[in-house]
Structures are given as C-alpha cells and as structure tokens.
C-alpha cells in the first residue's frame, strides 16, 4: 500500500506504533493539548488486495479510538465469546465429550445417513444436545450427497424432493428427541432456494454461508456486513472473513432479511479451517491459538472450526492435550464459552441496537447512556476509564429492550455500579 510520506520531527512527543514495510510511519499517536491524536498513514490496508479485515490490524482501529476518546467512554462490541464448530460429522463423538469436559459447547453439523444407521451414535448426539452442552443440525446426507441443494446437478431440489428430505430428517429428529439447532451450515455452504421455507418452518434463524442461495461454492461471495457490503470476491478465496448481518434476498419474496448470517473463518492460517492433525500436536495448538487470538483482538466471534475427518484421526489423549493447551494459551482473554446459537443471539442483538446518546455528570460521577433499537438477549456496553495511564475496560449490563432503554453507571473507586431501566421515548428529565 502507499503510505503518506512523512517523518516525525525530533522531540515532538509523537510515538510511532506501527510502520510500513519500508519503515514509513503507519500508525502514530501523540498527546495533543488536553486530548490525544491518532494518525494512520493510509486506510488502504482495509482492501483485500492489501490486507483486509480480520487480518491482524483491526485492533489498531478500535484500540486507537478507545485510547484517544475522552473518558469515561462507552462502546458496544462483542465480548470474548468462544465457540466450536465441527462440520462433516459422522461419529463416533468421543471428541465432543472431551470438548464439553473442557468447557466448550460444540456446534455439531452432521451427515444424516451416518446417524440414521447408528442407534448408539444417535442417542449419544441426542444426549449432548439435550444437556445444553452442544447444538446440532443436518449438514448433508453424506459427504457426496447434499441436503439443501442438488449438488450433482448444481440446481435447487424440486419442491417435492426437498419436502421428502425434510420429512426424512424430521423423522430422525423426532425418533431420538433431538432439538433442531437454530444455526445451520449447509455442506459446501450451498443452499437452494427451495430449501428456504423449510428452514423457516423449522426455526432456523442463523446461517453459516458464503454465497447467496442457488450459487455453488466458488461463485461470488455474499455481500453482507460488516465488511463485505461492497467489495467483490470469490466465496472460496483464502481471505479471513466475518459476517454478522441480515441476508438481503429481494429476489426471493418472503425471505428478504429473514435470516442472519454469522460466521468467522481465519482462512489465511493453514487455509480453510483450524486443521487439527494427527501427529501434529504442536502445529494444531499453534493454529488454534493464533486463530482464536486473531478473532478476540478483532472483536469478532472466536470459533474453533474443524472437520471431523481430521479430529477422529487424532489420538484421544492428544486431542485432550491440544484443547488444554489452546485454552491455556488464550486464558488471558477470559473467554466466555457459549453455544453457536447463544453467540448469534447476542451478535444479532448488538447489530439491531446502538448507543444513541451519552452524557457524564462529573460532579456525581455518573455516566448516562441511552440505547435504541431492540435486543433479544441481555447485552453489555464496555466502559473505558483511565487510572495512572492505564486504560480499564469494564462491562455494564443492558437488559433486553425494544425501543429505548437507559442505564446509569455510577463510578465508585474506578469500579462500576450500574442500574438499568427501560423507557419508550425521551430520556428521563435531567439525565
């Protein structure tokens, strides 16, 4: 990228925090009067041809805002949620039991035929899901036969065939008492338009996809926020990505903005996924650690994403060691273990709401926040204060609301005591 050609005068108090490859200042900060200044030498890093989002620079942006902002400063962002996603699952599910014991709550995307023919594994999966420690949904019939799209002919299934497939899956779900997860990832991300009504009927709200319906993997990627509203690219490109947005489908009446796409994939480190491998404990730990740290630093959903075909070849004791070490390596982030559905509920809630206004009563040390929009789960705002040049991040609780809500945050010895109440209309007088 081209960086503005400037140099820093000696003794002006500015600090260079990042430089371009040829040593030109890329990120410079400075105390400026009673405030602070941040200067980026270029914004072109955000283009995929240069670097792009979730590629290791995102935290420079949000940390710069937090550092420069007048305190106390409030920001809506994602807590350090951690989830797990395993596609192409056929069983056995010993790996899921181990993950659950470590605190993880895996999303198990499974091949229906493998469980239809295995009573023991079906009961095992049902037990995991009904205990609340995992979620699950049909991924495909098997590795070569897709469920939501006629992969052989690259067209949507006829309505009659799609209904037969749904009825078949429903029969298995009812037989073993497996609740349908509200998140779905179709095999190769391929989704036919004739499957959409069936998804709605079965309570699917969240999709893990890379393309619009009726497109094969490798076709243009889905244009959706926060980072792919305008830039064009291929759905199979090796760029890290994060989607958290409603899917615009005006060409499919009744389904426009009906589904919310929610997925993180760190695709530039070992390719498509985490890639835990047999006889590669150190490499598996390294990839898992790097990818989760990248997600946390970017304030996106941290996901240990793998395919079961790799996991089941790992020695069970090594699998436990891999998970233990990865979780130890990211423990400083204080991760919150959630199911994929829980993470999506939260992400959609902060997408649908915003901080509308803030004010600070310095005399009484109270920060007033008004939020607008709607949420479906309790959320948090992160409040940043400063003490002895250290910036402190503290979460403040926000209840479920629709319309407007306000919270009052009282600072006592640099800690927060917040109370909240819901209103519709203007903020209470004097606040």
The residues, any chain, with a CB within 8 Å of residue 345's CB and separated by 6 or more, are 376, 377
pLDDT digits (tens, 9 = 90+) for 363-422: 999 999 999 999 999 999 999 998 888 899 999 999 999 999 999 998 876 566 665 544
Q: Which of 204, 285, 272, 284 is nearest to 241 (CA)?
A: 272
Tell me the DSSP string of 214-239: T--TTSBPP-BTBTBSS---BTT-S-
Residues of the chain with CATH 3.20.20.370: 81-343
Q: Count of CB atoms within 10 A of residue 195's CB? A: 23
What pLDDT sits at residue 126?
98
What pLDDT sits at residue 204?
98
Tell me which residues of the chain have a pLDDT lower than 70: 413-431
What pLDDT sits at residue 417?
67
What pLDDT sits at residue 32?
85
Q: What is the DSSP letter of 150?
A: B
pLDDT digits (tens, 9 = 90+) for 107-137: 999 999 999 999 999 999 999 999 999 999 9
**Is-contact 41 1, C-beta < 8 A?**
no
Architecture per CATH, 81-343: Alpha-Beta Barrel (3.20)
Instruction: Please state whether beta strands 415-423 and 402-412 pair in parallel, antiparallel, or not at all (unpaired).
Output: antiparallel
What pLDDT sits at residue 158?
98
Number of separate helices (H) and strands (E) present in the chain: 10, 19
What's the pTM value of the predicted model, to 2 decimals?
A: 0.94
- What gap in Å lies between CA 151 and CA 143, rounded to an integer? 11
**Is-contact 86 97, C-beta < 8 A?**
no
pLDDT digits (tens, 9 = 90+) for 180-207: 999 999 999 999 999 999 999 999 999 9
């Amino acid at each position: 990228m081209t960086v503005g050609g400037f140099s820093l005068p000696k003794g002006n108090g500015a600090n260079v925090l990042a430089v371009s490859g040829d040593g030109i200042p890329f990120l410079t900060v400075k105390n400026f009067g009673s405030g602070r200044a941040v200067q980026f030498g270029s914004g072109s890093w955000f283009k995929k041809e240069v670097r792009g989002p979730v590629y290791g620079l995102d935290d420079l942006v949000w940390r710069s805002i937090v550092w420069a902002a007048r305190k106390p400063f409030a920001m809506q962002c994602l807590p350090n949620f951690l989830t797990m996603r395993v596609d192409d699952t056929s069983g056995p599910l010993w790996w899921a039991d181990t993950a659950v014991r470590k605190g993880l709550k895996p999303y198990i995307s499974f091949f229906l035929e493998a469980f239809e023919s295995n009573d023991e594994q079906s009961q095992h999966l049902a037990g995991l899901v009904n205990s609340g420690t995992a979620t699950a949904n049909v991924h495909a019939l098997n590795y070569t036969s897709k469920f939501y799209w006629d992969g052989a002919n690259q067209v949507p299934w006829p309505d009659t065939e799609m209904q037969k497939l749904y009825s078949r899956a429903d029969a298995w779900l009812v037989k073993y008492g497996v609740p349908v997860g509200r998140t779905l990832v179709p095999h190769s991300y391929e989704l036919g338009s004739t499957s959409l009504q069936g998804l709605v009927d079965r309570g699917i709200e969240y999709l893990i996809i890379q393309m619009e319906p009726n497109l094969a993997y490798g076709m243009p990627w889905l244009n959706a926020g926060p980072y792919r509203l305008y830039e064009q690219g291929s759905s199979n490109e090796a760029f890290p990505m994060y989607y958290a947005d409603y899917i615009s489908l005006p060409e499919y009446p009744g389904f426009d903005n009906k589904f919310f796409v929610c997925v993180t994939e760190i695709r530039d480190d070992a390719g498509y996924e985490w890639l835990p491998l047999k006889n590669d404990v150190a490499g598996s730990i390294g990839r898992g650690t790097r990818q989760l740290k990248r997600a946390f630093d970017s304030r996106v959903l941290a996901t240990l994403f793998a395919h079961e075909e790799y996991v089941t070849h790992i020695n069970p004791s090594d699998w436990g060691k891999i998970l233990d070490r990865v979780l130890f390596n990211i423990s400083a982030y204080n991760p919150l273990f959630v199911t994929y559905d829980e993470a999506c509920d939260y992400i959609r809630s902060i997408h649908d709401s915003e901080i509308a206004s803030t004010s600070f009563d310095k005399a009484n040390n109270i920060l007033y926040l008004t939020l607008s929009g709607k949420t479906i789960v309790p959320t948090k705002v992160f409040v940043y204060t400063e003490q002895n040049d250290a910036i402190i991040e503290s979460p403040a609780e926000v209840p479920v609301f629709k319309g407007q809500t306000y919270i009052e945050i009282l600072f006592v010895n640099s800690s927060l005591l917040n109370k909240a109440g819901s209103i519709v209309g203007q903020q209470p007088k004097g606040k």
